[in-house]
């Protein structure tokens, strides 16, 4: 008696789970949640992975985005302009009095003329910081290159200048 009730319970459970799985696979979902007004089409986007003679090489790219995304990007641009910079990283090579800070800057520029060097005053000390790095990994590269001349340098988060555009 117990065996037949367990077997029938097992059959019912298996039957219900199979019907649920099959039903879930047959449901269709709306694949276009955005309206036609949200559609942005670029003129031509070359695909770097295709050869130039491929028929797919210069197809237009359709981007579906919410209009609020563009508004947020505009707000971010205006805020960066107002702040005269963006959040990034620099390598701090000195902190102390004013005369030594400017000497450290001159020494740094003699050994590494390719980098931008900034002397900042934050009460009560002057600080010498190097570079305008968008990512921490860029700052780590600079720190590694100057480590022999400035062994006590360290990476700090700072407001950096806008990157220079290449022509």
Q: How much is the average pLDDT of 83-98?
A: 91
Average pLDDT of the chain is 77
CA-CA-CA-CA torsion sign (34, 39, 40, 43): positive
Q: How much is the average pLDDT of 141-162?
A: 92
Q: How much is the average pLDDT of 104-113?
A: 92
CA-CA-CA-CA torsion sign (116, 121, 124, 126): positive
Q: Where are the domains of the chain?
A: 37-82, 85-160
Band the pLDDT of 102: cuts 50, 70, 90: very high
- What's residue 162's pLDDT? 79
Band the pLDDT of 146: cuts 50, 70, 90: very high
Band the pLDDT of 43: cuts 50, 70, 90: very low
Q: Report the candidate in 161, 164, 142 with the shortest Cα–Cα distance to residue 153.
A: 142
Among 3.90.1150.10, 3.10.150.10, 3.30.70.1070, 3.40.50.2000, name the CATH number for the domain at 85-160.
3.30.70.1070
Tokens of 95: 């902190």
The proportion of the chain whose per-residue pLDDT surpasses 70, expressed as a percent, equals 62
- Strands in 154-160's sheet, in edge-to-edge order, are 117-122, 125-133, 86-96, 154-160
**Alpha helical stretches, state H, the chain:** 2-26, 67-82, 98-111, 136-146
Q: Is the predicted pLDDT of residue 136 greater than 80, yes or no?
A: yes
Band the pLDDT of 135: cuts 50, 70, 90: very high
- What's residue 83's pLDDT? 80
**More confident call, 116 vs 57:** 116
Band the pLDDT of 98: cuts 50, 70, 90: very high
> How, if at all, do strands 154-160 and 86-96 pair?
antiparallel
pLDDT digits (tens, 9 = 90+) for 49-74: 555 555 555 566 677 777 888 889 88
């Amino acid at each position: 008696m117990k065996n037949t009730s367990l077997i029938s319970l097992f059959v019912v459970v298996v039957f219900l789970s199979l019907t649920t799985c099959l039903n879930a696979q047959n449901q269709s979902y709306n694949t276009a949640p955005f309206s036609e007004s949200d559609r942005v089409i670029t003129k031509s986007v070359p695909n770097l992975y295709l050869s130039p003679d491929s028929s797919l090489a210069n197809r237009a790219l359709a981007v579906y985005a919410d209009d609020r995304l563009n508004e947020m990007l505009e707000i971010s641009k205006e805020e960066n302009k107002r702040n005269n910079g963006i959040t990034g990283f620099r390598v701090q090579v000195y902190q102390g009095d004013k005369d030594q800070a400017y000497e450290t800057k001159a020494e740094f520029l003699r050994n590494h003329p390719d980098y931008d060097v900034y002397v900042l005053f934050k009460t009560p000390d002057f600080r010498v910081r190097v570079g305008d790095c968008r990512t921490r990994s860029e700052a780590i590269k600079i720190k590694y290159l100057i480590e022999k001349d400035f062994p006590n340098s360290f990476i700090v988060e700072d407001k950096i200048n806008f990157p220079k555009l290449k022509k």
